[in-house]
Structure 1
Amino acid sequence: MDYDLDDDPARIQRDMVWAWLSTEAYWGRWRTREQLETQLDGAWRLVGAYRRDTGEQVGFARAVSDGVGFAYLADVFVLDAHRGHSLGKRLIRLMIDDGPGADMRWTLFTGDAHGLYRQFGFAEPDATAMVRPALYRAGADG
């Protein structure tokens, strides 16, 4: 199967992104649909992966940035049925290496994809990094 990737925010199939993030994403099921819409509307870049034959969206990545020196990579996923085609790597490459933020400092949070992100230069933070965790939310999954 062939896939197209691009960063046209108008092409993002928001219902598909919501369906996956609200049920499958261990890191963000606490969000409401309205909160996700706010995140999508305020994103610096949105990248999607699409089946070439049908146009169906099968992968996604979002970034927040100051547009100059810092970017945060978030919500990267590929639907289970489309894994094994290097789409995760292609999404990250388009977002980071082939995009306007190639020379920026990037950060992300992940609980299970360290090996993937190391391929793109990500590493555990050094002594200069600090993180303030999100406040506990009743009923939050993570």
Structure 2
Amino acid sequence: MIHEFRKDGFLISTDKQLLQFDVIHDFLKTSYWSPGIPLDVVKRAAGGSIAFGIYKESGEQVGYARVISDCATFAYLADVFVLETERGKGLSKWLMECLLQLPELQRLRRWSLATRDAHGLYAQFGFTPLDNPDIMMQIARPNIYIEMKEANGE
């Protein structure tokens, strides 16, 4: 099901046909959380997620987020951004309001995310530090895309 929200000349939509992968990839490949991410990985990630695009009335994409979820018990929020030119307009907060109200994302036992610099935004929506970080585990490969390029001689 496609969800759309309109406000102040902007559209938030889960219609994957609207996603502008050049915009998404240009941002993500230079972000601190996915440096060097290949375009095909960005496309596959969107394909396996509930993807949200933020668009101006002109159709230009200015923001993005995706939720990875089983739509029953768990959701992970990833790749959230608003382009620098559009920041300060409340778009990140509106995006969070929209994605958290999707019917298929209600009554989940746990939401998770990772952020280096947006704790204040997410705290407004109930996100808190882990209660028991000692029970959480991970396999982290923060430079995997750069390492893959180097291994391939690129």
* Residue 39 (structure 1) aligns with: 45
From the CA coordinates, give the structure whose radius of gyration is larger: 2
Asked if the contact 1:61–1:92 (Cα under 8 Å) also holds between the matched residues in 2, the reply is no
In 1, Cα distance between equivalents of 2:132 and 2:29? 34
Q: Give the one of 80, 102, 106 matched to 1:102.
A: 106
1:72 is paired with a residue whose SS is: strand
In 1, Cα distance between equivalents of 2:70 and 2:80? 19
Count of paired positions: 137
User: Which 10-residue stretch deviates more, 101-110 or 127-136?
Assistant: 127-136
Amino acid at match of 1:41: G
Alpha-carbon shift at residue 137 of structure 1 (Å): 4.3
Query: Any stretches of 5+ residues in structure 1 without a counterpart?
Result: none
1:16 is paired with a residue whose SS is: helix
- Is 1:66 aligned with 2:73? no
Amino acid at match of 2:126: G
What CA RMSD, in Å, does the superposition of the two structures yield over aligned residues? 1.8
Moved over 6 A (4+): none
What is the CA deviation profile of residues 9-61 of structure 1, one whole-angstrom value per residue up to 9, with x for unaligned ones? Answer: 111111110111112x1111142112112111111x11111111x11010100
1:100 is paired with a residue whose SS is: helix
Aligned counterparts, 1:1-142, within 5 A: 2-23=9-30, 25-43=31-49, 45-52=50-57, 54-104=58-108, 105-127=110-132, 129-135=135-141, 137=143, 139=146
Query: Any stretches of 5+ residues in structure 2 without a counterpart?
Result: 1-7, 148-154
Asked if the contact 1:47–1:94 (Cα under 8 Å) also holds between the matched residues in 2, the reply is no
Alpha-carbon shift at residue 75 of structure 1 (Å): 0.3
In structure 2, the CA distance between the partners of 1:10 and 1:136, relative to structure 1 (3 Å rule), is closer
Alpha-carbon shift at residue 106 of structure 1 (Å): 0.8
In 2, Cα distance between equivalents of 1:130 and 1:30? 27
Identity of aligned residues (%): 37
TM-score, scaled to structure 2: 0.81
Higher RCO by CA contacts (8 Å cutoff, separation 6 or greater): 1
Amino acid at match of 1:126: D
Name the structure with the higher helix share.
Answer: 2
